[in-house]
Amino acid sequence: MADFKVTELDPNTDFANLKSWDVVIIGAGPGGLAASLTTAHRGLTTLVIEAKSEPGGQPQFLYADKKIVDIPGFPDGITGHELSERTFRQATDAMVQFRFQEELVEILDTEEQEGEDRLKKVITTNGQYLCRKVILACGLLHYPRKLSVLDALESKKVHYKVPRVNDYHDEHVLIVGGGDSALDAAVMTLQRNARVDVVVREETPIGKADSVGRIHELGGNIRVATEVAAAEIRDGHLVSTLTNGDQLSSELAIVQIGFLSAKETFERLAIRLNEDGSIAIDPYFETSRPGIFAVGDVHGDIKLVTVAWAEGIQAAIYAFKEITSPYWLNEKRLHDYKLVMIGEKMSKAASQHIGK
């Protein structure tokens, strides 16, 4: 049985002039979208802030045209683009509000009060938003690492995700990188009738061996232990010179060499981090700063869409209960702590009894 009744927000709500929001969610990936649906369906005004120009997170950015096959309910798989589009449509139908191309700068505590909550001020590159609760769902990986030698060209021929093209018509595509994302990009472009060269700086690609085999089967060429040393646009083509002296002429390049960490952003928030730079949370997905929750890749070891969904929903419910039932989460923590203490005492007594 559902733990709530769907509450529709007033369609006449003037979101543009709200004094404060119930919940601000950072990130419009799977975790952020799932959290936003959950809070909006419980009647909470919800704002999602996304640094990129469109929603969807990594499924949209990395796997827009690749079928994701491990999501329950889609036996034939679903592309990252379709999955993102459907979830985003659900969120907008629930009257979740979005701000795109805004990046989180910091979160301040204020003296302003709403109910039992001291409001927080979420500061972004484009605005400031007062709210009762914040859910961080921005992922550990914000932006793709740029390859300076290609990026310096400022050319539309250089891409950091696979362009949404149905057929490459025997065009030559340069793929830079040896991880799973680069190998997946190579397979996708080969399947669309491209001629592909994959440039890998390592002695062997670090991605899946079956992807390497698939690239060879489809006629792709993998060049290992080399990098792009120089590049120029010549006669409408991208000409890349490799460190081994070879020159490759291509219609476009797809660079997949990893992502920049969000650790610096997390450090500015003054929240406790784990040794690997991820956010430390308690069993209720709350960070060391009360009222700020974190879900998905920002803390988790299991980086799956379904896990991000589940965590986004749970954190949203905890935030909802904190707003609607003051002190609820603290009381629950105290109850759980007492259970742990009882368990420890029973375990200690049992061990002492066995030792007699």
* Residue-number span of the structural domain to which 230 is assigned: 146-257
Q: In this structure, is residue 331 part of a structural domain?
A: no
Q: In this structure, is residue 172 part of a structural domain?
A: yes
Amino acid sitting at position 337: Y
Domain end point (choices 257, 275, 301): 257
Q: State the Cα–Cα distance between residues 36 and 29, nearest whole angstrom.
A: 11
Q: State the Cα–Cα distance between residues 73 and 76, nearest whole angstrom.
A: 9
Per-residue pLDDT 10s for the chain (356 aa) are 455 677 888 889 999 999 999 999 999 999 999 999 999 999 999 999 998 889 998 888 777 888 888 899 999 999 989 999 999 999 999 999 999 999 899 999 999 988 888 999 999 999 999 999 999 998 765 567 889 999 999 999 999 888 878 889 899 999 999 999 899 999 999 999 999 999 999 999 999 999 999 999 999 999 999 999 999 999 999 999 999 999 999 999 999 998 766 777 888 899 999 887 889 999 999 999 999 999 998 887 778 899 999 999 999 999 999 998 866 666 766 666 566 566 666 666 666 656 55
Spatial CB neighbours of 19, under 8 Å, sequence gap ≥ 6: 130
Q: State the Cα–Cα distance between residues 150 and 166, nearest whole angstrom.
A: 24
Question: Which residue carries 């921005």 as its tokens?
Answer: 138
Q: In this structure, is residue 336 part of a structural domain?
A: no
Q: State the Cα–Cα distance between residues 177 and 202, nearest whole angstrom.
A: 9
Strands 104-114 and 117-124: antiparallel
162 and 61 within one domain: no
179 and 272 within one domain: no
Q: In this structure, is residue 334 part of a structural domain?
A: no
316 and 266 within one domain: yes
